[in-house]
Amino acid sequence: DAGVIQSPRHEVTEMGQEVTLRCKLISGHNSLFWYRQTMMRGLELLIYFNNNVPIDDSGMPEDRFSAKMPNASFSTLKIQPSEPRDSAVYFCASGRIPTNEQFFGPGTRLTVL
Amino acid sequence: EDQVTQSPEALRLQEGESSSLNCSYTVSGLRGLFWYRQDPGKGPEFLFTLYSAGEEKEKERLKATLTKKESFLHITAPKPEDSATYLCASSGGGATNKLIFGTGTLLAVQP
């Protein structure tokens, strides 16, 4: 059974450019979580969806960040415009209500120059 | 405010030297305590879920236990391949299904 799929695995871009990260959930899962991980701040929850509906976006740093779930199995996280301080590893995780267990993808390492 | 604290931040063991990692939580109405393993350059890998005080779960050399205030991850006779960062997380009260993560314990097992 395929796990969570993220793309791209690595992204290097210049300040001011738009960045789109993609995530495919595990089949049958109905919750989707976006995290950011840095050495300084550890693993931070940005936003999560239940059944395609955004539930909590209080972790989204600012209006430059947006996330969508156009269908039940796919999500995007967009940063526009990107800044050097956005450099981090971004993970998505999928889960199944109500167990609260989350399964993480391999992550996207983002570097903004 | 719900919080999860892990200790120690880093632990170095000799192969075969058993030890425990600690995860303290302050969560009202705990609905699950989760342990993950993270290898460098990879996403966290799910290990265990504990739901109530007194519960224990085992997997190979790892055993997780839960009390009303903390959880322990016991590592028995560790091997170098057990080297990783171990994260714990709590699922708090209310309707939310989000997890609150600790900052992790970096475990290094030397041969």
Q: What percentage of chain B reaches a pLDDT higher than 90? A: 82
pLDDT at B95: 61
Smallest Cβ distance to B43: which of A50, A95, A105? A105
B42 has a chain A CB within 8 A of its CB: yes
Q: What is the pLDDT of residue A93?
A: 97
Select from B42, B99, B104 the Cβ nearest to the Cβ of A100: B99
- Expressed in percent and rounded to 5, the helix, strand and coil fractions of chain B are 5, 55, 40
Which mean pLDDT values do the consecutive 10-residue runs of chain A (113 residues) have? 92 97 95 95 93 92 94 96 97 89 96 98
The residue of chain A with its CA nearest to that of B90 is A100
CA of B88 vs chain A CAs: smallest distance (Å): 11
Q: What is the pLDDT of residue B74?
A: 98
**B101 contacts chain A (CB < 8 A):** yes
Q: What is the pLDDT of residue B30?
A: 82
The answer, for B34 touching chain A at a CB cutoff of 8 Å, is yes
pLDDT computed for residue A95 by the predictor = 92
pLDDT in tens, B40-81: 999 999 999 999 999 999 999 999 999 999 999 999 999 999
Percentage of residues of chain B with pLDDT beyond 70: 96
Q: Identify all chain B residues contacting A95, using CB atoms and an 8 Å cutoff.
A: 97
Phi then psi dihedrals of residue B82, to 5 deg: -80, -5
**Count of CB pairs separated by less than 8 Å, A with B:** 54
Tell me, what's the pLDDT at A99?
79
Q: What is the per-residue pLDDT for A98?
A: 78
* Predicted confidence (pLDDT) at residue B94 exceeds the cutoff of 70: no
Amino acid B96: pLDDT: 73
pLDDT of residue A1: 62
Asked if the C-beta of B91 comes within 8 angstroms of chain A's C-beta atoms, the answer is: yes
**Nearest neighbour of A56 by CB, restricted to B98, B103, B104:** B98
> What's the pLDDT score for residue A2?
81
Of the candidates A6, A50, A5, the one whose C-alpha atom is nearest the C-alpha of residue A29 is A50
Q: Could you please report the per-residue DSSP string of chain A?
A: ----EEE-SEEEE-TT--EEEEEEPPTT--EEEEEEEETTTEEEEEEEEETTEEEE-TT--STTEEEEEEETTEEEEEESS--GGG-EEEEEEEE-TTT--EEE---EEEEE-
